[in-house]
Amino acid sequence: MKQIAQYQDGRIELQEVPMPAPPPGGVLVRTTHSVISVGTEKMKVAQARMNLIQKARARPDQVRKVLDTARNLGWRSALEKVRNRLETPTPLGYSAAGVVVQVDPANTRFRVGDRVACAGAECAFHAEYLGMPDLLVTPVPKGVENWQAAYTTLCSIALHAVRQTGASLGDRVLVMGQGLVGLLVTGLLRASGARVMAVEVLEWKRPYCEAMGAERVVISGRTNLADEVRAWADGFGVDAAVICTATQSNAPIEQAAEALRDRGKLVDVGITKIELPWKLFYEKELEVRFSRSYGPGRYDPAYEWGAQDYPIGYVRWTEQRNFQACLQLVAEGRLDLKAITTRRVPFNSALSVYQELAGDSGRDIGVVLEYPQPDTLEQAAEPIRTVKESVTIHPQPARISAPVHCVDVIGAGNFARTMLLPHLHGRIELGTVVNQTALSANHVKEKFGFSEASTDDTKIFEQKAQRAILIATRHHLHAPLLLKALRAGRHVFVEKPLCLTRDELAQIDKAFASSQGSVQVGFNRRFAPASVELNRLLTEIPGPKTATYRVNPGKLDPSHWYANHAESGGRVLGETCHFLDYFCFLFGSSPVRIVAQTTWPVSGRLAFPDSIAAQVEFSDGSCGQLVYSAEGDPGYPKETLTVFGAGLTAEITNFQQFTVHRGRKAQKFSYTSKGHTEQMNAWVQFLRGEADHPLPYDQAGMSMRLTFAALESIQQASAVEVR
């Protein structure tokens, strides 16, 4: 299929990419129309064409992230991450419509052939096919054409802004900026019975403002806005003002504040500079609100990707219900989208539209892309297949007798592209790469030299040849994919954590015992040069040891996928397994029991443990103490390990600095690797039959049992035996 791809050097291409697959509980949609959001996408194109200095000025938040990465991982890793970001193509588009051609078995709302509107910058791309989660798709009612339904996302953005104003019948509302969203706000306010004054800087947009129902149109700079408002609003001022501008000037905010009546309401929906003049806002006691995209549910992965709807008794207007409301207004003829649609362009001609957007002479408002319709939908409508499992019982050798010469990869996000794949590239043949988004899969294929790219992992498990598999997906997919791989007799590298539940671990144990394959978990810190040297020193001294591992990961962004417990298992499971495994490696002894507690109340949006303090007892008398806290200062090192043994104290900071204290002297060493390179190299040697397995499954399994015991200790508020 074809999809539009944008690069950070400004290039925009129409690429041939693999077909997407419907996500769990979702649908596959054949796109018939999508809408170019002229303002937003023009801004993205402009930012992509900036040089690095201009990009840094435009996105200071990203610069801070780079500096944090450099402090914790070194400049080489930070620059590699930046390079990966800059060279990776990103999709464009977030508002589309089409026809359902495939339905995941877990979905009960849709059927093949349903007309639907699709939303979301993470999935509703300018592409011929879309893999959509359930709640970001809504049925198109009779009376609405597909090209109109393609506006649904944009209409919902405007509708949520209108809801934030609280405007009622007869209220006067000022709408600053009459781009596509601003015009839709104007139209929706008019449809609700409000009176609208539209403010715009371009005279040629006046007819569009009037067509959408603006009672009065003010061209900024030609007339005095304050005088216009005074005359129109009987000297009181407007009831509400909606900011739909995209500017670095604070003028729209100041003008809107002047125009508002006492205790009026200002709502921002545009990406604009906002500085609130204290005296004016205080004296009028103005209320300021921001309008977040399509409405409640936006940026909540449990809602958007987990299909966990909000009860209507508590949240009347979710983004899904806003979609439905917008489509109903179009069906009733109360929202005229034809009036703001300036062009309907064949999808294959989309690049010319973007070239025109980059200039300043364009006069487009709404641009609809129309997609070619295939003669047959047999390929797209192919039902989801299940893989037949074939398991052969045989003992697990430390070294394989038949070398493996090819690796398939499932999951190729930024972590895999930065930390794993560079160390496989050129050392072993790379077969098929599978990723959730077709564009990303195609990019990884081209960058690392894979023979094939796909969004469907089925073919990987159907391969007859002996091939290894690397799994670097989100955590909830690790166990299901690993079980498939083991039943297919594959040698597997799976990123940590190995699984999310004890039941999954039991299934993996059983599958491993009867499989011809092997398992290595991505506990990379074991393989770091500083770790190897520390381990060598500890084996030279007698008696038990004590280690304290302090981890300062920073606060978790509630919008990050790690905050979706169903996908990540939470930070305690998804992250601290690393450090608990490290204790097992360091002491070379079996954990006996653990006592753990949270160090911050478990409440709010992150209703599961985010910070933990734990103490682990080992069978040889050694002790591991872990403090994993999101509450520290970000300037402190991310990872600090201190080990005490007979006549020796050693400390590792971020696996870059290693200090050994003994004989009243201190030796300092510097390193650059956290072990990813060394672990990948060791795995390749194993696959070639040149070395034993670098991390036996029983050791990785024990580390996961210790992690599950830590969670149980938190739940039970007592020490838990490791079993």
Question: Do residue 631 and residue 701 come from a single domain?
Answer: yes
pLDDT by 10-residue block (mean), the chain, 723 residues? 88 92 93 90 62 59 73 78 78 96 85 94 96 96 96 98 96 96 97 97 96 96 92 95 92 95 95 91 96 94 92 95 97 96 95 82 89 63 36 55 93 92 94 93 95 92 87 96 94 96 95 93 97 96 96 88 87 94 96 91 66 95 96 93 97 97 96 95 95 94 95 86 91
* Residue 82, pLDDT score: 73
Is 395 inside any structural domain?
no
End-to-end CA distance of the chain: 50
**Residue that the structure tokens 């002297």 belong to:** 665
Question: Do residue 485 and residue 509 come from a single domain?
Answer: yes
Read off the pLDDT of residues 335-386 as tens digits, 9 standing for 90 and up: 999 999 999 999 999 999 888 877 766 788 999 999 998 764 444 444 333 3
Name the domain boundary from 321, 342, 369: 369
Encoding tokens for residue 143?
């009376």
Q: The pTM is what?
A: 0.80
Question: Do residue 129 and residue 10 come from a single domain?
Answer: yes
Cα 306–chain centre separation: 14
Question: Do residue 538 and residue 517 come from a single domain?
Answer: no
Is 321 inside any structural domain?
yes
CATH code assigned at 672: 3.30.360.10
What is the domain range of residue 122? 2-151+299-369
User: How many other CB atoms sit within 10 Å of the CB of residue 68?
Assistant: 15
Q: Where are the alpha helices (DSSP H) in 361-437?
A: 414-415
Say how far apart CA 304 and CA 293 lie, in whole Å: 13
Is 400 inside any structural domain?
no
CATH code assigned at 67: 3.90.180.10
Is 491 inside any structural domain?
yes
Is 328 inside any structural domain?
yes
Torsion sign over Cα 688, 691, 693, 695: negative
* Residue 61, pLDDT score: 65
* Residue 377, pLDDT score: 41
Question: Do residue 516 and residue 554 come from a single domain?
Answer: no
Question: Do residue 460 and residue 597 come from a single domain?
Answer: no
The number of CA neighbours under 13 Å toward the Cβ of 386 is 6
Question: Do residue 434 and residue 462 come from a single domain?
Answer: yes
Name the domain boundary from 290, 316, 348: 290
Question: Do residue 194 and residue 253 come from a single domain?
Answer: yes
CATH code assigned at 166: 3.40.50.720
Read off the pLDDT of residues 546-574 as tens digits, 9 standing for 90 and up: 999 999 999 888 888 888 888 898 888 99
* Residue 48, pLDDT score: 56
* Residue 529, pLDDT score: 97
* Residue 11, pLDDT score: 84
Is 378 inside any structural domain?
no
Say how far apart CA 573 and CA 596 lie, in whole Å: 13
Is 268 inside any structural domain?
yes
* Residue 381, pLDDT score: 43
Question: Do residue 591 and residue 701 come from a single domain?
Answer: yes
Cβ contact 663:607 at 8 Å: no
Name the domain boundary from 521, 545, 562: 521
> Quick one: residue 654, left, alpha or beta (phi over 0 = left, psi -120 to 50 = alpha)?
left
Per-residue DSSP letter, 155: H
Split into its structural domains, the chain has a count of 4
Question: Do residue 475 and residue 536 come from a single domain?
Answer: no
Would you call 579 helix, strand, or coil by DSSP?
helix
Is 376 inside any structural domain?
no
Question: Do residue 286 and residue 307 come from a single domain?
Answer: no
User: How many other CB atoms sit within 10 Å of the CB of residue 190?
Assistant: 18
Question: Do residue 170 and residue 272 come from a single domain?
Answer: yes
